[in-house]
Amino acid sequence: MTLSSNKTEPTTLLVDKFGRRVDYIRLSVTDRCDFRCVYCMTEEMTFLPRAQVLSLEELYLVGKAFVDLGVTKIRLTGGEPLVRTNVMTLIKQLGSLSGLQELLLTTNGAQLDKYALPLREAGVNRINVSIDSLDADRFKRISRVGKLEKVLQGIDAAIAAGFDKIKLNSVIMRGYNEDEVVGLAEYALDRDIDIAFIEEMPLGDASDHAREETTCSNAWVREVLETRFQLSDSEAKTAGPSRYTDVAGYSSRIAFISPVTHNFCEDCNRVRVTVEGRLLLCLGNEHSMDLRAILRAEDFTEEKLRAAIVAAMDLKPERHYFYEKDYAQPVRLMNMTGG
Ligand code: SAM
Ligand code: SF4
């Protein structure tokens, strides 16, 4: 593990026109996935042609440019990052960047039994594993193809690998898994790992349901949790959208990510890069900059890439407007956006 342990005041050169400092990127390493979760993908997916996808070398150059500009935290996501061929090469390179303080990965866990230890050794500090049900049939219904058993083995392997932090992500949807809120929380807390409940976002059309009918507010999820646990708002704040609660009698925490009912844009510190090299300034808007064109230009230099990223900060919109009137919702599905 070669990540810098320098936790002194980081200085990012990336500041948007509302004065928000960007020190966190989510880098999507593939749009492909071995699952087809109902809230994220349609059943029949067409993935990007290879030529449109950034190479591992290009992804590294993007990560490096952001770190050179003061970004201290990179989350690798997708699609499913662990289905990208030779992804470990990229992860090792990023893990060696001096200046990077945290390298994180979000995964569906299906291959984590094999990858947990190599990821830890490559410098990944924290890992998020998505799990929406503890019932094998239901798990399959939600992921359309996933095997619960494999994900549970993956979580055990992640615990054994000794990451600084493991967090489970659960999207709660009416008609699918709304009766599993307490069970999922117990599963996490009993293992001393955190769990975040995420509201389903209207990104692209879900083909199996109408999102307005399935979306559960986190206020409702919290009420259900409070029938079993004593929750108190935590002072702890990570550089992300989660709001944490401490749970009496447990060492790990329950978090709420509420993009639909709670607008957290005011202190947004992050941007996303899609695997096509599109720098997306906001999850819920289309403002973007084409980094691939710069990477593939004949006169490419790292300096030009950095200059484009700095210039793009002016495009970051003030906030997102899910379900608010008169706003065009993004047509991007989450696997294209990078979760
Ligand atoms: N494949 C990995 C995984 O599932 O963890 C990483 C990518 S996935 C797009 C990242 C996160 O986005 C997952 O936790 C998933 O549950 C969440 N997600 C996907 N589509 C969503 C949606 N429409 N609303 C809310 N969360 C969503
Ligand atoms: Fe794949 Fe993750 Fe999307 Fe599920 S949420 S389909 S695992 S990218």
**For residue 301, what is the domain's CATH number?**
3.20.20.70
Decide: 82 in ligand 1 pocket, CB within 6 A: no
Stretch 122-132: mean pLDDT, rounded?
Answer: 97
Distance CA 332, CA 287 (A): 12
Ligand 2 atom at minimum distance from 334 CA: 3
Question: Please, what sign has the CA dihedral across residues 134, 158, 37, 225?
Answer: positive
Asked whether residue 80 is domain-assigned, the answer is yes
Q: Is 40 in the pocket of ligand 1 (CB under 6 A)?
A: yes
**Secondary structure, 3-state, 24-69:** EEEEECCCCCCCCCCCCCCCCCCCCCHHHCCCHHHHHHHHHHHHHC
Residue whose C-alpha is closest to residue 255's, from 175, 330, 188, 174 = 188
What are the helix (H) ranges across the chain? 56-68, 87-95, 112-122, 136-143, 148-161, 181-190, 211-214, 218-225, 291-295, 302-312, 334-337
Give the integer Cα–Cα distance in Å for 317 and 312. Answer: 11
- On whether residue 210 sits in a domain, the answer given is yes
The count of domains in the chain is 1
Asked, for residue 242, whether it belongs to a domain, the answer is yes
pLDDT classification of 7: cutoffs 50, 70, 90: very low
Residue closest via CA to ligand 1's atom 2 equals 107
Percent of the chain past pLDDT 90, that is, above it, reads: 69
Q: How far from 250 is each of 130, 162, 185, CA to CA, in Å?
A: 21, 19, 11
Q: What is the largest CA-CA distance in the chain?
A: 61
Looking at residue 239, its pLDDT comes to: 59
Instruction: List the single range of 3-7, 283-287, 291-295, 327-331 with lowest mean pLDDT.
Output: 3-7
- Tell me, yes or no, whether 6 lies in a domain: no
Tens-place pLDDT, residues 31-43: 999 999 999 998 8
Tokens for 248, please give them.
């009496």
For the stretch 219-268, pLDDT in tens is 999 999 999 999 999 877 665 678 899 999 999 999 999 877 766 677 78
Taking the CA of residue 40 as reference, the ligand 1 atom at the shortest distance is 20
- Asked if residues 288 and 281 have their Cβ atoms less than 8 Å apart, the reply is yes
**Which residues does residue 245 pair with via DSSP β-bridges, in sequence order?**
233, 254
pLDDT of residue 164: 95
| Cα–ligand 1 centroid distance for 40 (angstroms) | 6
pLDDT of residue 44: 86
Rounded to whole angstroms, the Cα distance separating 260 from 257 reads 9
Whether 9 maps to a domain, the answer reads: no
327 pLDDT higher than 60 = no
> Can you tell me the distance from the alpha carbon of 139 to that of 108, in angstroms, rounded to the nearest whole number?
12
Nearest partner of 108 among 78, 73, 134, 136, judged by Cα? 78
- Report CA(35)–ligand 2 centroid distance (Å): 6
Task: Reply yes or no on whether the pLDDT at 138 is more than 90.
Answer: yes
pLDDT at 218: 94
Q: Is residue 269 a part of any domain in this protein?
A: yes
Substitution site in 26, 28, 32, 41 for ligand 2 pocket (most atoms within 8 Å of beta carbon): 41
At 314 the pLDDT is 87
8 in a domain, yes or no?
no
Domain containing residue 259: 14-337
Classify residue 5: in a domain, yes or no.
no
Pocket of ligand 2 (CB under 6 A): 33, 35-37, 40-41, 78-80, 108, 130, 334-335
- Decide which of 180 and 15 is more confident: 180
Cβ(41) – ligand 1 distance below 6 Å = no
Residue located nearest, by CA, to atom 3 of ligand 2: 40
Phi, psi of 24 (to 5 degrees): -140, 125
CA–CA distance, 69 with 10 (Å, rounded to integer): 10
